[in-house]
Amino acid sequence: MKKNTLILLIVGAAVILIISYCQFWSGGEKNPTAVVDPETMGNVPPESSSAAAGKPKGEVPPPSEQAAAPSAGFLPTQMEDAGKFEAYKKHLKEMAVCLNMQVGQLDPQSEINFETFNKAISPDLGDIVMTTDEWSATDIRTKAGELRRIYIENSPDPEKQSQKNLKYYSLSTSGEQKELPLAADQMANPSEALIASLESDGELVGKSTSRRMFYQNGDDLLLIERNGKIYSFELPHDGKTFTCIDADSAKMACRCK
């Protein structure tokens, strides 16, 4: 064996021994820390779907007195109801003070729908990184005049076998709900055919949906819409929560807590 080759082998063996010795006394690195690209951190949902399962899902709005009409919002101008637009401006200013956040100006020529609302609140929140559908409620009135509600709650927990749960109610004039019996296999993950069959039992009175939007900064907005219009919302930020209800009418009321 050549002298140079022997020297290289000795040096290599020494390096290996030194590395092994250091790892032995340091205990090794059993769980190396993952490297996260700062530019992609904002795309990671601030909370998992399982965490969303423990949050309140919001109350179902009372049924409308008249049959529902398709709508994506309303014009907050003199063309329809300037008072509603002024109420929104007033409450958004209150929200900015309550939550200590930036709130953009509303465009008087735009409809008050989620896109317009989201544009106003997004300066501090950032983009939406995840959305979960909490529930939907469809109200119908039968030919006999009975008011019924088809309520479908979505489970964000992937470990649950049932991802959707159906409940069928009869509603009294005072708003009380009486659950109507359904088979267990109908309630768990109901088929589209079953839902359509229940909806066909009467005239559509109203449809409400609840969604939760998760933002880049870690906040989440609970939004409930009734017949395509914002009915209520709840937004926590900077240690406080701002809540509004009846946002689709002149009775819009908000509170800071």
- Mean pLDDT of all residues in the chain? 79
CB 231 within 8 A of CB 251: no
- The per-residue pLDDT for range 169-187, each reduced to its tens digit, is 999 988 789 999 999 999 9
pLDDT band at 257 (very low <50, low <70, confident <90, very high): very high
- Could you tell me what percent of the chain has a pLDDT over 70? 69
pLDDT band at 39 (very low <50, low <70, confident <90, very high): very low
Provide the pLDDT for residue 57.
73
CB 108 within 8 A of CB 115: no
* 170 vs 136: CA distance, rounded Å: 16
Please name every residue paired with 93 in a beta bridge, in sequence order, or none if there are none: none
Provide the pLDDT for residue 75.
58
* 69 vs 77: CA distance, rounded Å: 20
DSSP string, 17-39: HHHHHHHHHHT--SSPPPP--GG
Question: Which one-letter amino acid corresponds to residue 226?
Answer: R
- The per-residue pLDDT for range 56-76, each reduced to its tens digit, is 677 888 876 655 455 555 656
Cβ atoms within 10 Å, residue 176: 9
Length of the chain: 257
DSSP state of 77: S
CA 185 to the chain's CA centroid: 27
**What are the structure tokens assigned to 26, written together?**
């340091």
Could you give phi then psi for residue 29, rounded to 5 degrees? -120, 90
Provide the pLDDT for residue 215.
97
pLDDT band at 31 (very low <50, low <70, confident <90, very high): very low
Question: Which one-letter amino acid corresponds to residue 135?
Answer: W
pLDDT band at 96 (very low <50, low <70, confident <90, very high): very high
- Decide which of 168 and 24 is more confident: 168
Question: Which one-letter amino acid corresponds to residue 93?
Answer: K
